[in-house]
Amino acid sequence: MTFQALVSAANAAGGVTSTVRTLETAALPDGDVLVAVEWAGLNYKDAMCLAGRGNLVRTYPHVAGIDFSGRVVESSHARYRPGQAVVLTGWRVGELRWGGYAQRARVEAGMLVALPKKLTTREAMVLGTAGLTAMLAINKLKSAGLTPGSEILVTGAAGGVGSIAVMLLARLGYKVAAVTGRPELADHLMELGATSIVPRAELLANSGKLLDKERWAGAVDMVGGPLLAEVLKKIAYGGAVAAVGMAGGTDLPTSVIPFILRGVSLIGIDSVMQPYEARVAAWERLAALFVPSAYEALVREAGLADLPELAVQLLAGTIAGRVIVNPRDDQP
């Protein structure tokens, strides 16, 4: 059987080019579950893979796509049966192993989660890695003692993780301050549940102090770098920040003062290697909280051939919300 895939190859100049090609199923990596991919997502890490950045992909030719949803075609594992709806995020799929930018994917059963019945495969990819990461971050903030009614700052709020975090936090009863550098998206963020909008430039303004006035009980940070350093100065006593991204850089130019004078906690969130049980619990909670209709204005559909250009736009920070990928056009 043949299928279509977006195949990336290293060119003579040291860059990466990606084109849609027809492949044989035998070309797929080994695994005990074959999935017909119905939807995939475009994430920041996917854009890096398609652009050849970060040394995320080690071997070419390669099929990117760190998350996807679809239905089982074949399975030699007792957990899954043909026709069952499944979702995959993480496990270095799309980086070290071929991923979801194809009509077929073969993976190990332990990498998959059976999709909650309340979610369609499309809704699962509207959430995708972004939704899972947001849910994990919120769960950690709750474990750190941040209760509903507290005000939580969300940086990078117009992006995939940030916009879903805004919705989930609001649904759980938190007040949400949404940070964005794009004022034209303020109305969308308020519709998702934000109670206030914080201009990114305002937050980046360095006061020169080691501590600023306490403004928020906690934060979900997608940006890292200098912006995270400024956030930490403004977190209330005993608060917590869940760090999930590095779009603003990997350096953290801060001091120990927020940690030792205010007892602030900085919590790292990893969505790649989360154990199966934690993934199942997060997806069940997402299915209960997510309102697809409320988020639809921030969803954009694309085909495989659109992805190289969209990756450039995502890395430039000009895409809001979630891009979901339909690989099924001209399915063999």
User: Using one digit for the tens of pLDDT, what is the confidence trace for 255-302?
Assistant: 999 999 999 999 999 999 999 999 999 999 999 999 999 999 999 999
pLDDT of residue 195: 97
Q: What percent of the chain shows pLDDT beyond 70?
A: 99
Q: Is the predicted pLDDT of residue 225 greater than 60, yes or no?
A: yes
Token duo for residue 326: 């339909």
Task: Report the C-alpha gap between 132 and 320 in whole angstroms.
Answer: 18
Q: At 69, which amino acid appears?
A: S
CB neighbours of residue 160 within 10 Å: 29
Q: Under DSSP, is residue 116 helix (H, G, I), strand (E, B) or coil?
A: coil
* Mean confidence (pLDDT) of the chain: 95
pLDDT of residue 332: 40
Which contacts qualify for 177-180: CB closer than 8 Å, 24 or more apart? 177/151, 177/152, 177/153, 177/215, 177/216, 178/154, 179/153, 179/154, 179/155, 179/203, 179/227, 180/156
pLDDT of residue 329: 66
pLDDT band at 16 (very low <50, low <70, confident <90, very high): very high
Measured in degrees and rounded to the nearest 5, phi and psi for residue 272 equal -80, -45
Instruction: Dump pLDDT digits (tens) for 91-149.
Output: 999 999 999 999 999 999 999 999 999 999 999 999 999 999 999 999 999 999 999 99
Token duo for residue 303: 């085909």
pLDDT of residue 288: 95
CATH class in words for 2-119+295-325: alpha beta
CATH class in words for 129-268: alpha beta
CB neighbours of residue 190 within 10 Å: 16
Element (H, E) at 266: strand 265-268
Domain with CATH 3.40.50.720 in the chain: 129-268
Q: At 234, which amino acid appears?
A: K
pLDDT band at 330 (very low <50, low <70, confident <90, very high): very low
Q: Under DSSP, is residue 8 helix (H, G, I), strand (E, B) or coil?
A: strand
Task: Report the C-alpha gap between 239 and 159 in whole angstroms.
Answer: 24
- The pTM is what? 0.90
Nearest to 319 by CA among 127, 125, 156, 102: 156
Domain with CATH 3.90.180.10 in the chain: 2-119+295-325
Lowest mean pLDDT among 190-194, 206-210, 242-246: 206-210
